[in-house]
Structure 1
Amino acid sequence: MTDVVALTRSLVGLDTIGHDETAALKVLAPLLEGVGFVVAVAEHEPGRGTLVAEWHTDLATPPLCLSGHVDTVPLGAVTWQHEPFGELDGDRLYGRGSSDMKGGVAAIVLAAVEIAAHAPKRAGLRLVLTSAEETGSLGARHAAETVLDEPSGPLVIAEPTSNAVVHGHKGAFWLEAVATGVTAHGSMPQLGDNAVYKLARAVSRLADHGFDARPHPIMGPPTFNVGTIEGGLNTNSVPDRAVATVDVRTVAGQDHAAVLAELAHVAGQEVELRPLVDLPPVWTDPDDEWARAAEEIVLAVTGERNEPRAATYFTDASVLTPAFGGVPTIICGPGEAEQAHVTDEWCSVTRLAQSVEIFERLCVRWCGI
């Protein structure tokens, strides 16, 4: 059987920085097909595919779904001290995507391969290995719209959590604020209508706004951040267009349509707010039976018990959980959350081995093996 470190290293060795995720899926598909999974790849654009693998999904109980993404973010401008496409040094496997989250993908695939040697009594398995997660879960959304039309049991997202069970994450609601005006010569500004001033006033009002929503007991309060602002073409002209992008992180219980209406009212009529990314928050009650079972499995494998927590990042669960009808969802993977997107990203070899065992035990519990 392929070793999880070797498989992770193979995946990390592939450049999937915002492109060519299908190349990584070509490494994984034969492993799954070889043990009886029915595999399909849905590309939302050439070379950018999402793999859906099904095993014994004709049983009465919906299958357990394991998911992860194979795209990665750019390396950054700072020179890496370790090989960015895979270097093993002691307990650390370095490389872009080792923690976020090719290590998690390797672990769920190898766990699924091992489980496929058995006959399920209760339910089967579904794997959803996605593209373009980093830019708004485009691959998961395309798969949900085209090939994921069957019910699902619980969902496990193998994002980096140091193998702890995480019960959800905030939503990511990214907006574009657009102000328009009338251009004129900079020496005669009274003849124009300055879009930058309009945008500045709106952004100032938004920055001072406090959301109506109560803080979530685990996620905390929703947050608001202006990420970019741009306006005008040259110094000696009145700008007739200005644009800011806004990153809103919502909490469980908030409705994004209501959030948009609230922020549009605060911003005022001088700007138009347009959604760019709309990924709702995800939360599973820690007292949920499946979540408790997952906690006990993690404790048995790692010896670590953790308090209920939420991730700061978003995941494909924002798309898959509602697509599957709001199924219980946990996030649990071998990577280190603080290693995501950093220079010299690494994943613990020990965590990788633990993760395979955790996923195998989760599969055994749900599938009835």
Structure 2
Amino acid sequence: MAAPGSGLFLPTVPVAWALRAAGHEVLVANNAQAARTLVAAGLPAVDVCPGRDVFAEFLEASRAIHLTPPGEPRPRRGGLGLFGEEMAEGLLALARDFRPDLVLSTLEQGAGPLVAASLGVPLVEQSVRLAWAGGDEQAVGYRKSIAAYLEPTRVALRVAEPAVATAVIDIRPPSMGGRDSATEWPMRYVPYNESRLLPEWLLSAPARPRVCLTLGSVLPLSGELGELSAFLDRCGDLDLEVVLAMGEEHAAALGPVPGNVRVAGWVPLSALLPSCSAIVHHGGAGTSLTALVHGVPQLVLPRMADQPANAAVVAARGAGLSLAPEETNAASVEAALLRLLRETGPARVAGEVRAEIAAQPSPADLVVRLASLAGRA
């Protein structure tokens, strides 16, 4: 189980695949579009809040908090605890019918510890983050705040004290915080960006350096496209092929683009990035990690949530550059991108991190450990 935002549940798909391929019975629980996406990924999934869109409710609650004037009381409803609050009842009912031997959940889905406690089975937490995991201060703080948020829900549903995860699956490369211990299990990040038909041009070597530009799935919904249109205009004078990976409705709102800008829609980054010399993006954990998997230097333009933290980790490792919101405009993005393409350091470091990730245990390698916890080894 995971929260129903793309970046919060897509990283769990490879583990579910690995467990099913090993012969284990897997049921995935989520909501609305997330549940449909999981079905399209070839997994048996259940929508535990049919007729509702919990992620849309989360975005609206977050917007209300953001719009609260300074000094005014912030709405209680909102934040990561909302996912567990709204989905716990359905998740508990499903789990009691399915009777799993193991609960695999993410930190952001706060109902995971409640479900494991209710059934009396082990809990394993899968991290979906680049900036923190396991015993890191941020992760510990989020667990505590989510548990506090869900305390009224726990009491109302008559669940025992929340379960503590036996282990946390850490998808970070070692040089970027990833750890290996009895309770922190390293795992290679395997990108999954949904399955789509690939255009023919994607598999052909580009005639000039190819740069991917994407802002993820959430930032465009907020309308915060910033200087994107002005930057694309400047790209017309650059000897580059720029691939705009963005929903068609948002790309259309940008108006006409130069001839060397290819509007690609939601092309899977895992298929696009092997042919790219660089990527310009918003700093989502999945996007950042996918670029690291393929050794592609990054220019990160963070805006919200964990994006600034991800950008800081990438820049500190030397695998890319980052611009703060107040520094970001069409000219500064162009200058940073050209620097990224001309300097050898970011590409070299990105290659080092790619090798680190390739040496980590695969999702299939973790199946025996997970099955052992479930008593199914």
Give the structure with the larger strand fraction. 1
The answer to whether TM tops 0.5 is: no
Rg comparison, structure with higher value: 1
Asked which structure has the greater RCO (Cα within 8 Å, sep 6+), the reply is 1
Structure-1-length-normalised TM-score: 0.26
Structure-2-length-normalised TM-score: 0.26
Give the structure with the larger helix fraction. 2
